[in-house]
């Protein structure tokens, strides 16, 4: 049962119990040397995105000018402090996500959304390419009303672009952010630690019309 992958999100009754204590993880980012958990400078904001396997997703964001630090983890589900193995079963409800801590004076949330939409295929439901299961679903977990409005507007703009390109309907979950649970240390900065490591994400090739229904 533990190693069964599920496409269906669990209920409070069927979810794995998890644990009350956080998992051990890195203290600083492997690439930038900045603290994963803070404190961060004044004015810094955060965003949370799920785009499939978080190894490749994190690299897309840590390379962007204006991004202070990134961290991979689990969010959007029920089980507290889940392990990677537990999350992969689909029985935690959690998605693999990246927390992007950024300076809005250098890079806007709208620009992060553009990277999000173009960096994966948001039409695949409970999968991303060959990675199958609810843990790999496309998701935006917003931290305030402004992020919600921008996420929804960018979704509508990108859906129009996808439709013109003959692509399907967006299945991305847009929901308020719940707890973000840091993943185990070996997942943090994974593709910097393992340059030949697996990266399973890929976009549709359709450009996100940032500025169309989205304030840059």
For CA atoms 194, 192, 198, 175, give the dihedral sign: positive
What is the rounded CA–CA span in Å between residue 41 and residue 14?
40
Give tens-digit pLDDT for 68-85: 999 999 999 999 999 999
pLDDT band, very low/low/confident/very high, at 201 (cuts 50, 70, 90): confident
What is the rounded CA–CA span in Å between residue 162 and residue 49?
20
pLDDT at 5 over 60: no
| The model's pTM | 0.94
Give tens-digit pLDDT for 6-37: 578 999 999 999 999 999 999 999 999 999 99
Catalytic positions are 53
Asked whether 45 and 5 are in contact (CB, 8 A), the reply is no
pLDDT band, very low/low/confident/very high, at 215 (cuts 50, 70, 90): very low
The CA distances from residue 11 to 51, 81, 141, 174, in Å, are 23, 17, 19, 19
pLDDT at 1 over 50: no
Residue 39, C-beta contacts closer than 8 angstroms, at least 6 positions apart: none
Q: What is the mean pLDDT of residues 150-170?
A: 97
Longest dimension (CA), the chain: 48
pLDDT at position 43: 97
């Amino acid at each position: 049962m533990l190693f069964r992958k599920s496409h269906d999100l669990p209920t409070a009754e069927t979810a794995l119990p998890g644990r009350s204590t956080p998992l051990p993880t890195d203290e600083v980012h492997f690439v930038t040397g900045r603290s994963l958990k803070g404190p961060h400078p004044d004015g810094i904001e955060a965003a949370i995105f799920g785009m499939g396997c978080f190894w490749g997703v994190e690299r897309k964001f840590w390379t962007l000018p204006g991004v202070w630090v990134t961290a991979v983890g689990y969010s959007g589900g029920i089980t507290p402090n889940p392990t990677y193995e537990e999350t992969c079963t689909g029985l935690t409800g959690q998605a693999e996500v990246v927390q992007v801590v950024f300076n809005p004076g250098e890079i806007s949330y709208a620009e992060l959304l553009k990277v999000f939409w173009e960096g994966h295929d948001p039409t695949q439901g409970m999968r991303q390419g060959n990675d199958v299961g609810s843990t790999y679903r496309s998701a935006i977990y917003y931290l305030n009303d402004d992020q919600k409005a921008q996420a929804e507007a960018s979704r509508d703009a990108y859906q129009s672009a996808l439709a013109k390109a003959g692509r399907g309907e967006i299945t991305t979950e847009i929901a308020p952010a719940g707890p973000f649970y840091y993943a185990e240390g070996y997942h943090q900065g994974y593709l910097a630690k393992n340059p030949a490591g697996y990266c399973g994400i890929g976009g549709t090739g359709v450009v996100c019309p940032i500025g169309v229904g989205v304030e840059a």
